[in-house]
Amino acid sequence: MIRDKCGVFGIYGSRNAGSLTYLGLYALQHRGQESAGIVTAENGHFHSRLGMGLVNEVFASKTDIDPLKGYLAIGHNRYSTAGSSSVDNIQPLVIKFSRGDMALAHNGNITNYKQVKKELEKSGSIFRTSSDTEVILHLLAKSRKKRMELALAEALSKIVGAYSLVLLTPKQLVAARDPSGVRPLALGRRRSTWVVASETCAFDMIGAKYVRDVNPGEIIVINGNGLRSFDILKPSRHAFCIFEFIYFSRPDSLIYGMNVDKVRRRLGRQLAIEHPVKADIVISVPDSSNTAALGFSEASGIRYDIGFIRNHYVGRTFIQPEQKIRDLDVRKKFNVVRGVVDKKKVVIVDDSLVRGTTSKKLVTMLREAGAKEVHLRLSSPPITSPCFYGIDMPTKKELIASSKSVESIRRFLKADSVGYLSLQGMLELPALPPDEFCTACFTGKYPIKLFR
């Protein structure tokens, strides 16, 4: 089974629905680089193009986009998970069934996927993909309800997990978000055109305005009669993914209605308060921790500087020469600016620590470039438990903080000090009640039932 970290996009009511979806996926590229796909509906028929690679590889010329005619469309960016990548799993999934044609794009993870799949197989369902997304379509096919929202509610009532999804029929666009609201999904508008997207940066790209989030448990149906909202899924405790603030979303997006940038900066400020240090400069690991590092700098008064240059031309393929050049996997991506760190006490702010191997190499590179001291500060608490709600993470065993104390982590990294943001410190910063967030990866308390 494949865990998704993806971007979804849907649009209704523009005669360039296909091109605008392309632009939306472009802006959501950071959420998934393995594959991309667009399905549009025109006069009762679907047009689609799906492929492995980045948006600008799958849609490399006008001839790739031009056939995608129609007033409504959905699109999907898929994350690359080593080994399980496959042409069959590219989304949107497109099928034909009793309701006619349908396409579905999904961000999240269904935790009772195996159980539901087994049930479905017993009743004669056959599966083409190894993706959990396919069970939603099967459940929908089994529903006897005529109205789309009722059928979808019936299908979703049988699955447990995190999902933000967009669904296309020849005539309507449907969006839905799980009752816990784990993964984000925003609703926007551009004149008379409705759009939904994983992040609002996709709205900025096409000149649409953020209206509100699709609510946890909400089903939205958009068609010739306009937009209707249905609140028919059984409500649940909210469990917004806090990792979207820490690392995953783009800083220029609104997530759960808040500026990612602002929250991320507060994380940095709080980190400086919790783990002060005497140092000459604060640097980030570009680009994901830039904002947190700025926050750290502000609160600590230590000068922010650019200590690492990131090579943005790093592609999917990188050929490691036979001869061992130490740490080339990190070095190909980051180079130290020697003039900045030489003879300096350096604070390096990163967003989180997973395995710790990259950070270890960065610490070494800083020391080799002359840094006198290297202090690592992390703008999130220790990650001790893997995510089962749609973020791809290594197993518990591989998570360095699941078995090591902060001091042993420090020794492993060869850093002068290591400081993690506290759970409480983290939870106070967004403008939402702490108990509306999912903190499973930090606490091991999984708010949505797991099925193993």
Spatial contact of 6 and 91, defined as CB atoms under 8 Å apart: yes
| Structure-block tokens of residue 324 | 């061992």
Is residue 14 a contact point for a second copy (CB under 8 A)? yes
For residue 44, state whether it binds a second copy (rule: CB under 8 A): no
35-42 and 72-78 as β-strands: parallel, antiparallel, unpaired?
Answer: antiparallel
Residue in 309, 394, 443, 450 binding a second copy, rule: CB under 8 A? 309
Q: Does 111 bind a second copy (CB under 8 A)?
A: no
| Active-site pick, 6, 201, 241, 441 | 6
# of chain residues touching a second copy (CB under 8 A): 86
43 or 317, CB closer to a second copy? 317
Cα separation, 67 vs 19, whole angstroms: 10
Q: Is 114 in the site for a second copy (CB under 8 A)?
A: no
Query: Which residue from 92, 161, 251, 268 is in contact with a second copy, where contact means CB under 8 A?
Result: 251
Q: Cβ closer to a second copy: 218 or 350?
A: 350
Which residue in 83, 122, 433, 452 binds a second copy (CB under 8 A)?
122
d(CA 96, CA 414): 57
**Shortest gap between Cβ of 229 and a second copy (angstroms)?**
26
Distance of alpha carbon 328 from its chain centroid, rounded?
Answer: 27
Nearer to a second copy, 429 or 440 (CB): 429
Q: Does 201 bind a second copy (CB under 8 A)?
A: yes
Decide if residue 432 touches a second copy (CB under 8 A).
no
How far, in Å, CA of 345 to CA of 373, rounded?
A: 4
Cis peptide before 204 (omega within 30 of 0): no
Using rule CB under 8 A, residue 395 touches a second copy = no
Residue with tokens 């990294």: 413
Residue 231 or residue 342: which is nearer to a second copy going by CB?
Answer: 342
The kind and range of the H/E element at 425 are helix 423-427
Tell me if 61 contacts a second copy by CB under 8 A.
yes
H-helix or E-strand spanning residue 62: helix 62-65
Q: C-alpha angle 13/163/234, rounded to 5°?
A: 100
Is position 6 annotated as part of the catalytic site?
Answer: yes
User: Residue 297 corresponds to which tokens in the numbers above?
Assistant: 């700098």
From the list 164-172, 200-208, 216-224, 271-279, the region that binds a second copy by CB under 8 A is: 200-208
Q: Which of 149, 154, 305, 373 binds a second copy (CB under 8 A)?
A: 305
Contact set for a second copy, span 154-193 (CB under 8 A)? none
Contact 81, 2 (CB under 8 A): yes
Instruction: Candidates 5-13, 38-46, 303-311, 389-397: pick the segment binding a second copy (CB under 8 A).
Output: 303-311
Give the span between the Cα atoms of 107 and 88, in whole angstroms: 17
Contact residue for a second copy among 189, 338, 345, 372 (CB under 8 A): 338
Q: Based on CB atoms, which residue is closest to a second copy, 253 or 270?
A: 253
CA dihedral 279, 280, 285, 287 (to 10 degrees): 130
Instruction: Evaluate whether 9 touches 91 at the Cβ level (below 8 Å).
Output: no
Mark the segment that binds a second copy (CB under 8 A) among 162-170, 315-323, 394-402, 430-438. Answer: 315-323
How far is Cα of residue 435 from the mean position of the Cα atoms in its chain? 21
For residue 249, the minimal CB distance to a second copy (Å) is: 11
Q: Are 177 and 217 in contact (CB under 8 A)?
A: yes
Least spacing, CB of residue 147 vs a second copy, in Å: 17
Nearer to a second copy, 287 or 428 (CB): 287
Single residue of 337, 354, 406, 423 touching a second copy by CB under 8 A: 337
User: 303, 396, 414, 449: which one contacts a second copy (CB under 8 A)?
Assistant: 303
Q: Which of residues 64-83 bind a second copy (CB under 8 A)?
A: 64-65
- By CB under 8 A, is residue 339 in contact with a second copy? yes
HSE toward the beta carbon, residue 301, CA cutoff 13 A: 3
- Determine, following the binding rule CB under 8 A, whether residue 426 of this chain makes contact with a second copy: no
The region of 108-116, 170-178, 267-275, 324-332 touching a second copy under the rule CB under 8 A is 324-332
* Inter-residue contact 249 to 255 (CB < 8 Å): yes
According to CB under 8 A, which one of 98, 192, 225, 395 is a site residue for a second copy?
98
The DSSP string of 14-59 is -TTHHHHHHHHHHHTGGG--SEEEEEEEETTEEEEEEEES-HHHHT
Residue with the two structure tokens 């220029």: 252
Q: What HEC string does 329-368 produce?
A: HHHCCEEECHHHHCCCEEEEEECCCCCCHHHHHHHHHHHH
Residues 127-146 that bind a second copy (CB under 8 A): 127-128, 130, 137-138, 141-142
Catalytic residues: 6
